[in-house]
Amino acid sequence: MAAYSERYDAALTFAARAHRNQMRKAGDVPYIVHLVHVSVILLRYGFSEDVTIGGLLHDAVEDQNVPLAHIKASFGPAVAEMVAALTERKRDGTLERPWEDRKQEMLDQLRRASLDAVAVKAADTLHNTRSVALCLRRSGPSIWGNFKRGPGPSLWYYRSVAAIVHERLGVHPLADELDAAVGDLAQAIAETGAP
């Protein structure tokens, strides 16, 4: 990928606008920081422009109700496919779906997703686990009040994602880095005596 791309810039601007009022759960940080980290991780590992743009946009439908058709029209079918594969169905009509059901469904989707979508999920999970571990060490177990579930279920989910990433990507340094991040989060949970 070139050092500068108008298409990547358009995706970054789109993501910043879509998520402009959203903050991260694990700290008082604008959400766009997460999306940029995911994209940079993918760039660092040499993934294509479509994949890095998928990293920028992977939460736009799920968190901001951006129509998937808009992403497809603006950034192409490959990016739209990645975003669709990584979008949780949070509601069933007017009712919020249980966290456990949503996460199990996401794991099932990940098993069937394209390798590009799996790479985006790996980078997403890598940044999430690193962020949670850092906040946990800085602020202690009170951070779990910002999440739907506590450390046990969260760690189960991150470990499950990491296992699927290894199954799908095989031997890949991104999968190895994700494993290390999940292990570090487990250590941070143990160090802080999180419930």
What is the signed CA dihedral for 179, 184, 189, 191, rounded to 10 degrees?
150
- DSSP for residue 146: G
Write a three-state SS string for 37-79. HHHHHHHHCCCCHHHHHHHHHCCHHHHHCCCHHHHHHHHCHHH
38-84 pLDDT tens trace: 999 999 999 999 999 999 999 999 999 999 999 999 999 999 999 99
Task: Give the H/E segment covering residue 21.
Answer: none
Fill in the amino acid letter for 89.
Answer: R
The pTM for the full model equals 0.95
For the chain, helix, strand, coil in percent to 5 are 70, 5, 25
State pLDDT tens for residues 136-154: 999 999 999 888 889 999 9
Query: What's the CATH number of domain 6-192, 1.10.3210.10, 2.60.40.10, 1.10.540.10, 3.30.70.2190?
Result: 1.10.3210.10
What angle, rounded to 10 degrees, do the helices at 49-57 and 68-75 form?
150
| Domain coordinates in residue numbering, the chain | 6-192
